[in-house]
Amino acid sequence: MANFTIGKLAKQTGLGVETLRYYERRGLIEPQSRTGSGYRLYDDDAGRRLRFIRRAQSLGFSLDQVAELLSLSDRPEKSAAEVKQLAREKIADIESRIHDLERMKSALSVLEDQCPGHAGTTAECPILAALNRQNQEPVAGENG
Amino acid sequence: MANFTIGKLAKQTGLGVETLRYYERRGLIEPQSRTGSGYRLYDDDAGRRLRFIRRAQSLGFSLDQVAELLSLSDRPEKSAAEVKQLAREKIADIESRIHDLERMKSALSVLEDQCPGHAGTTAECPILAALNRQNQEPVAGENG
DNA sequence: ATAAACCCTGTAGTCAACTACAGAGTCAAT
DNA sequence: ATTGACTCTGTAGTTGACTACAGGGTTTAT
């Protein structure tokens, strides 16, 4: 129930005041209340919510997608089936991201292990190789 | 050794011709050669490379970071120690992304399991809760 | 040999996600 | 009661990653 002004919240999260207002316009976060003069007041959840937003972004989710993720837990008890469905879709999305990252990681591990001595044949680019035996569909769309 | 023009490569990958030229300006890809009249000619590796680029992007890597990833395998046999070091850094980065995604996934799984019947207390937002017990540092920088 | 469909360089416009004012009101401290 | 740090709304500018011309040359098909 501790109430922060926007400046305090900004300092706490390392974000800019303008960024917080921008997130509000985008529907990602809202002040718990306002003072009589219109100052935004935030509670402790705001900081957590912002941390979530940044983390999700760094994982390649757009702000619209982050909003969708957040809306899942914001929805009170309405439309349980809809929430369940959306959650399932997001889980599938996340699983495929994890899968891709794991392929990328093992490619890099090969590189790491291989590098130190073996100066010789150029080893046929393990990083490209590792990510390609699978999924031969076109690759235009950014996020699945 | 099959040689494609830029238009063929674009069609093959589902990207636009302008995008391929843009990636070239950004140092992500280069034609294997040029015709006498200046037309770009690409080999089979180009398609794989582009698929890699798009996948890495969708995982939250910027084009600059993708360029770094690619440079790891492009480096012939020079500076093995440097490559090894860079690979290690990227692996750590990827591991933390995987970790974050796994936290996010388990939060969503909780939601999914919890939703169907339990209309009652609002369950205290599992998605935010799951992502926050750890890492309490500021969150400003996008990628770690 | 001429039109359609390519390709070239170069520059400008767009979209998401900020980031930075401008102009004005508010609050805390002197 | 006034200075300075804060806040407000609203709009404009910036950056990364495209995307779309303009103005011109090249290849392919007829």
Residues in chain B: 144
B99 burial via Cβ count (<10 Å: 0-12, 13-18, 19+) = middle
Contacts of A100 in chain B (CB under 8 A): 55, 58-59
The total domain count for chain B is 1
* Residue B120: count of CB within 10 angstroms of its CB: 7
Arithmetic mean of pLDDT, A24-51: 95
- B122 CB neighbours in chain A (<8 A) are 76-77
B50 touches B29 (CB < 8 A)? yes
> 3-state class of A76 per DSSP?
coil
Give SS3 for A33: strand
Please state the three-class secondary structure of chain B as a single string.
CCCECHHHHHHHHCCCHHHHHHHHHCCCCCCCEECCCCCEEECHHHHHHHHHHHHHHHCCCCHHHHHHHHHHHHCCCCCHHHHHHHHHHHHHHHHHHHHHHHHHHHHHHHHHHHCCCCCCCCCCCHHHHHCCCCCCCCCCCCCC
Distance from CA of B36 to the nearest CA of A (A): 29
Q: What is the pLDDT of residue A108?
A: 84
Phi, psi of A28 (to 5 degrees): -90, -25
Spatial contact of B74 and B45, defined as CB atoms under 8 Å apart:
no
Residue B28 pLDDT greater than 50, yes or no: yes
Q: Does residue A28 form part of some domain?
A: yes
Whether A127 is covered by a domain: the verdict is no
For residues A126-141, average pLDDT: 50
The beta-carbon contacts of A120-125 under 8 Å, at least 24 apart in sequence, are A120/B77, A122/B76, A122/B77, A125/B45, A125/B73, A125/B74
Nearest nt to the CA of A18 via C1' is: C19
- For A40, the domain range is 1-59
Give domain status of residue B96, yes or no: no
Q: How far is B32 from chain A, CA to nearest CA, in Å?
A: 16
Contacts of B49 (CB under 8 A, 6+ apart): A128, B28, B29, B70
Residue B33 lies in a domain: yes
In chain A, whose CA is at the least distance from the CA of B91? A105
Do the domain assignments include residue B79?
A: no
Determine, yes or no, domain membership for A33.
yes
Beta strands in chain A (DSSP E): 33-34, 40-41
Determine, yes or no, domain membership for A115: no
Residue B77 lies in a domain: no
Which of A53, A61, A62, A112 is the best substitution to test chain B (most B C-beta atoms within 10 A)? A112
Query: What is the pLDDT, as a whole number, of residue B86?
Result: 78
CB atoms within 10 A of CB A12: 17
Q: How many CB atoms lie within 10 A of CB B29?
A: 20
Distance B9 CA to C4 C1' (A): 21
Please report which confidence band the pLDDT of residue B77 belongs to, taking 50, 70 and 90 as the band edges: low
Q: What is the ipTM of this complex?
A: 0.79
Which pLDDT tens digit goes with each residue over A106-130? 888 887 776 554 444 444 556 555 5
Q: Does residue B80 have a pLDDT over 80?
A: no
Region B2-17 average pLDDT: 94
First to last CA, chain B: 39
Residue B41's beta-bridge partner residues? B33
Model pLDDT, residue A118: 47
C-alpha neighbours within 13 Å on the C-beta side of residue B88: 9
Sequence-distant (6+) residues with CB within 8 A of B58 are A60, A97, A100, A142, A143, A144
Mean pLDDT of A3-23: 96
Q: What average pLDDT is seen over chain A?
A: 80
pLDDT digits (tens, 9 = 90+) for A48-98: 999 999 988 988 899 999 998 888 777 655 556 777 787 888 899 999 999
pLDDT the model gives residue A144: 32
Q: What is the CATH number of the domain that holds A21?
A: 1.10.1660.10
Enter the tokens of residue A89.
């879709």
